[in-house]
Amino acid sequence: MRYFLRLLHSLFYNLGIPGFNMNILPVTAALLLALTAAQKSFAQAASDDSCLNEPAGQVWVNEAEFIMGDNSHYPEEGPAHKVSVRGFWIDAHEVSNAQFATFVDATHYVTVAERIPNPADWPADVPEDFLKPGSVLFTPPEPGQAATNWWSWVPGTDWRHPDGPGSSIRGKDLYPVVHVAYEDAQAYANWAGRSLPTEAQFELAARGKSNAVFPWGGNELAPHGQHQANTWQGNFPMNNNAEDGHQGLAPVGCFGANDYGAYDLIGNVWEWTSNWYYPTHNQDDSNNPTGPTLEQSINSASSAVPEKVIKGGSYLCAENYCLRFRPAAREAQDTGLGTSHIGFRTVKN
């Protein structure tokens, strides 16, 4: 998180803004983002009643050779190239609040968002609220406000308080855990005796057995008007029509499982992978690819912030803004920062 906050600190001071209200600190998108037969296996959800009512285990993904990446959308998704991935087990759904709570109860783990930042990591004149625990929250613009800024740094926000310090996860055991930084997700995976998926593993699992743009087959997000994933319908970030049955984050497993029996690999929350981010694929890394090194990743970036690949898109991805609700889509994410639209799942190799 300290990398992200340093970036904010530098930005505001470079703009000549030495003081600002940190109770809710605006964060620009540029800083954070820089989320037939095949169709019948997916089901539209109109309410939480259609979601899973108990946690599911892991599902098996067969060894496969597939075309990873995409040359027709965003440049960082290319070049499309053939890769081979050995078989693996993957969580049937995102790690839930209840599952993460079990881990925390067993280990007394404290997430990055809950920790008090070390003042030694900061300049002496850093605003006091930078040194308070917190996380980044989606805050849609109010009527009349410019639709250019929809993220806020909110002290007191964390996985137990996902919508700000006054919120809770009571009654949300089966919602994806959010506001988890990369090291939080890795700590859970280590405790569970598993790993975070590589980008290739995630993309293979998300594609199912389809070679189409979407894993339910074809090139349409909602074929015949039937939504297959929790995304944003309407004009982002001002208006979400919730045609998919969900206004914001949804419980796990609200849409039908894919060919492998896995849920929500598209939409709902972005998910951490183990790959360091590089703005293109390496075609030579084709046999169980693990991606670039940390050094290669940092050297490719405009700043020295360590970034991992996140996959799958989220409930904030809309057709008018973010077309990343596809298996091939990918984004870079600061490893020290959790948000309200990033979660994770684990694999067993």
For CA atoms 16, 20, 22, 27, the dihedral sign is: negative
Q: What is the fold of 2-348? A: paralog of FGE (formylglycine-generating enzyme) (3.90.1580)
3-state helix, strand, coil in the chain (%, to 5): 20, 15, 60
Segment 243-278, tens digit of pLDDT: 898 989 999 999 999 999 999 999 999 999 999 999
Residue 9: pLDDT band (50, 70, 90) is: very low
Residue 43: pLDDT band (50, 70, 90) is: very low
Q: What is the DSSP letter of 76?
A: G
Question: Is residue 63 over pLDDT 60?
Answer: yes
Segment 302-331, tens digit of pLDDT: 777 899 999 999 999 988 888 899 999 999
Question: Is residue 22 over pLDDT 60?
Answer: no
**Terminal CA-CA length for the chain:** 29
pLDDT of residue 335: 95
DSSP reduced 3-state for 318: strand
Angle between the N-to-C axes of helices 97-107 and 182-191, in degrees from 0 to 180, rounded to the nearest 10: 70
Distance between CA 249 and CA 46 in Å, rounded? 14
Question: Is residue 195 over pLDDT 50?
Answer: yes
- Average of per-residue pLDDT across 210-230: 85
Contact between 278 and 292 under an 8 Å Cβ cutoff? The reply is yes
Place of tokens 């095949």: 38
For CA atoms 175, 340, 99, 312, the dihedral sign is: positive
Q: Where are the domains of the chain?
A: 2-348
